[in-house]
Amino acid sequence: MDTVSLSKKVVLAAVILTVLSGVSLAQLPGGVATPYLWYDAGELAYNVSTVLASDGEAVYDWDDRIGSTRVSRVVSAGGEIYFRAPSSSEAMNFNPTIHFDNTLYARFAEFNSDNVFGLTGDQSLTVFTVSESNLIPIGMPQGLFEVGVGNSSAFTVQLTHNNTVLKPAVTNGDVKTDRLGDVDVIQDTAHLVTASYESGNDTDFLAGSKLYQNGILTNGAAATTGTNGFNLNSTVFRIGRGGNNGNFQMRGYISEVIVYNAILSDSDRNKVESYLALKYGITLDNSGGGDAGDYTSSGSVLLWDASLNAAYHNDVAGIGTDNGSALTQTTSKSENLDTVVSIGSATDQATGEFLVWGNDNGSVSVAETTDKPATVDERLAREWKFQEAGGDVGNVTVGFDLAKQTALTDTGNAANYSLLVDSDGTFINATVVTSGRTFNGDVIEFTYNLDDATNAYFTLGYSTATFRRRVIIVESN
């Protein structure tokens, strides 16, 4: 098996890349070796050849962070590719993304007869992609990444149409041999798809390929309609398209693409996926049990224990700083459609410190009226658990989006709400927090130190406001 190891030769190559590209050796995805290619929407997306794109501007060129391999915009029929800044409502968990506005047809593409990708033959590959589809047309797969000749020996990662839904897939060509994922892709929700092919299986692509969805192995149904072989011909390299069919275009967003020309170990793959999941608000799948769904830092520190927190492994998100991963996430929320909570603005978030949280998937439409402090009328039935690693991040701003729930009345008056924090998840004796409470649009915010040394759970409380009325009685003779 080809595994990534930093031999003297690889270290020397990485140092050369560092000098040429400006990427620090200490700042790699998950801190894992040196990827072959690394495209990050927050880095090197250009509106003009040397001018970085601003929010809403078209992206004409996208350079990778390792060796400055450039892919260039190709559009037609009204399609366009736009940059979305962290401040945009289209940002992915407060991080930049690239919007493939694909009403009909658009793609990033580099067609180069001089072999721009640089790898040929029976090559091991591991490709990580973060995407979000905002349109699921019937019968239209959506390409994420492709290298090779699209109708013969390509390596393609795409969201493949299956009846009325999309599923992730890895294929050796234009729907020649597919390995499909088991879980549907939800529209307007960020997804992490990892696909790999191990060399030595050039006569049986299915035997050599693996597919992971949000961190879990999802080698579902395989379909073969053509040759099952694999021999990489890298005269074509695309992001945002997969397959020769002009309709196989991405319709939505791609935030990051990372390519290794090797098979990563399970622990290293988890580090890369943890980096991407925390950055983009993606819940890693813990359905496999054990360490499946764990979030791990570049230094192998366990940031979120999916088994320990199994009852709260929903809408997982986190803030933290990991210099080994080039990750600085200061505000975060889950990108799932039902997310309610966002947390950020930590007053003491140092390198290596993280705060990660998830919820029990409790109701947001029916209030809890018994398990609550006496001074609170009712609370959200949904409860959140949090876990710190590496140190205390200090006071944070905890926000609840009232537009995402119907259990509690949205009065617009901050005095009606309180943050309830508790040590054991039974909220009858919870601490009632009112510090810093204020409205930011539909979001009620509080300022508090979520320190898991004393507390580990929180939720939102509601109390009916009490007003004093002065009654003047005028009596006449």
Amino acid in position 240: G
76 shares its domain with 158? yes
72 shares its domain with 221? yes
- In this predicted model, what pLDDT tens digit does every residue of 4-45 receive, in sequence order? 333 222 333 343 344 334 455 458 999 998 999 999 999 999
How far is the C-alpha of 309 from the C-alpha of 294, rounded, in Å?
A: 10
248 shares its domain with 325? no
**Residue 430 falls inside a structural domain:** yes
What is the widest separation between alpha-carbon atoms in the chain?
108
- In this predicted model, what pLDDT tens digit does every residue of 303-349 receive, in sequence order? 999 999 999 999 999 999 999 999 999 999 999 999 999 999 999 99
How far is the C-alpha of 138 from the C-alpha of 164, rounded, in Å?
A: 6
Domain of residue 187, CATH code: 2.60.120.200
- Is residue 211 pLDDT above 60, yes or no? yes
pLDDT at position 352: 95
What the block records as the tokens of 123 is 């090559």
**Residue 471 falls inside a structural domain:** no
How many independent structural domains does the chain possess? 2
pLDDT at position 85: 96
- Is residue 71 pLDDT above 90, yes or no? no
327 shares its domain with 431? yes
325 shares its domain with 411? yes
pLDDT at position 234: 57
How far is the C-alpha of 211 from the C-alpha of 302, rounded, in Å?
A: 24
Q: What is the mean pLDDT of residues 206-219?
A: 86
- DSSP letter at 413 equals -
DSSP-assigned states of every residue in 211-250: EEETTEE----EEESS-----B-TTEEEESB-SSSTT-B-
The domain boundary, picked from 260, 293, 320, lies at 260
**Residue 301 falls inside a structural domain:** yes
pLDDT at position 372: 97
Residue 21's CB is within 10 A of a number of other CB atoms, namely 17
240 shares its domain with 350? no
pLDDT at position 69: 79
256 shares its domain with 291? no
pLDDT at position 68: 67
**Domain of 427?**
285-462
How far is the C-alpha of 135 from the C-alpha of 353, rounded, in Å?
A: 37
252 shares its domain with 387? no
pLDDT at position 74: 72
- In this predicted model, what pLDDT tens digit does every residue of 272-294 receive, in sequence order? 999 999 999 999 999 988 899 99
102 to 20, 164, 240, 247: CA distances (angstroms)? 35, 19, 10, 10
Q: What is the mean pLDDT of residues 216-221?
A: 76
pLDDT at position 111: 34
- In this predicted model, what pLDDT tens digit does every residue of 134-172 receive, in sequence order? 876 656 778 788 877 545 557 778 777 655 566 777 777
**Residue 279 falls inside a structural domain:** no
130 shares its domain with 227? yes
**Residue 320 falls inside a structural domain:** yes
385 shares its domain with 418? yes
**Residue 93 falls inside a structural domain:** yes
For the chain, percent of residues with pLDDT exceeding 70: 78
**Residue 278 falls inside a structural domain:** no
- In this predicted model, what pLDDT tens digit does every residue of 93-128 receive, in sequence order? 999 999 988 765 455 543 333 456 777 778 899 999
**Residue 467 falls inside a structural domain:** no
Handedness of CA 392, 97, 258, 163 (dihedral sign): positive
255 shares its domain with 301? no
Interior CA angle at 178 toward 175 and 184, to 5°?
A: 105
169 shares its domain with 203? yes
